[in-house]
Amino acid sequence: MGGGGGGVAWRTLGKKWLHSTRALSHTRIPPNSLLSLDLPDVWIPNTNYTSTANTNCRFIPSSRIPNEHMATVIDGKSIADDLKSGIAGEICRMKNAVGKLPGLAVLLVGKRRDSRTFIRIKIKACNEVGISSFIAELPEDCTEDEIINVISSYNENPSVHGIIVQLPLPQHLDQEKIVNAVSLEKDVDGLHPTNIGNLAMRGREPLFIPCAPMVCIELLLRSGVEIIGKKAVVIGRSRIAGLPTSLLLQRRNATVSTVHAFTKKPEQITSQADIVVTDVGVPNMVRGHWLKQGAVVVDMGTNLVKDPSCRQGYSVTGDVCFEEAIGVVSAITPVPGGVGPVTISMLLSNTLDSAKRAYGFT
């Protein structure tokens, strides 16, 4: 009886659906209109769910948090040192075998203090493991053609195996066009559309994977965190970190949700997750009550916050309120000292892999 009634209902709905599709079949929907509006993820503090930009983050006692509970702090620096040691050994072995060293070229546009700091750290790391480094600096008001000419020269230079364009670029420049000018074979940042596309498609392998997402998986695996079948939430969907991290977690068979700037009540989604990864650039946005007891947190955020008590006038903090989270989660990466150091090591690893491929060295 129930089956028959269901069948009648289904047939009725089926007729309505067929009628509506026939009506629509006369009007072709342009493919571009099937894509959503390409709105930027601008994270605006929303007092409806939390004081997002509240940098006065402190531990808040809660009856659901045992007093003796303390999370494992994942030491990114020691992991980075371990990775660099292995990379240096491989570079030494390659030099002895083929007489060649990997080369990394860095392009800086303008004089942003943070960009200069990041480049200085990368060059220092190259020197530590034996990678040759090349630096090109262009003025803030340079043209796209000038930048692309520099990239083209590095593309053709056989001593250069990796090219990175330090982001962000000045607003008058087309970042997409410039990043895409980097040769696929030297895209050690993993940002070329072909690399991202292959990462998204099962059965295909990108030449390079973006460094920060690789770090996320590396830290989880080294910490003994089970990924298969777990609920993972990635906060943020940037091309550099959030999006490829979601794709990598899916490849590891996690059930992945994405929280972005238009997500309603994000704390209700994150509080159900076994693994939370953040990539938003909002200091202390993720508070203790956003997190599930025993979850694992990978904080990719690096935010400069004014701090008169610090000599330089600012301190570095992540997207997660560390003081609150540490009383809830089972493991967490600190900022600084978590994802950052390992990201540099992954960049060195990608550059080494590119050189090996170029020289046919295994």
Query: What gap in Å lies between CA 240 and CA 279, rounded to an integer?
Result: 9
Reading the block at residue 71, the tokens are 């999370």
The residue written with tokens 């080494």 in the block is 352
* Catalytic (active-site) positions: 122, 166, 189
Radius of gyration of the chain from Cα atoms? Answer: 24
Nearest Cα to Cα of residue 321 among 267, 240, 243? 267
Q: Which residues contact 278 (CB under 8 A, 6 or more apart)?
A: 234, 235, 236, 285, 286, 297, 298, 299, 300, 301, 318, 319, 320
The residue written with tokens 């993820």 in the block is 41
Torsion of the alpha carbons at 50, 55, 44 and 76, rounded to the nearest 10: -100
Nearest Cα to Cα of residue 153 among 182, 114, 113, 196? 182
The residue written with tokens 């046919």 in the block is 360
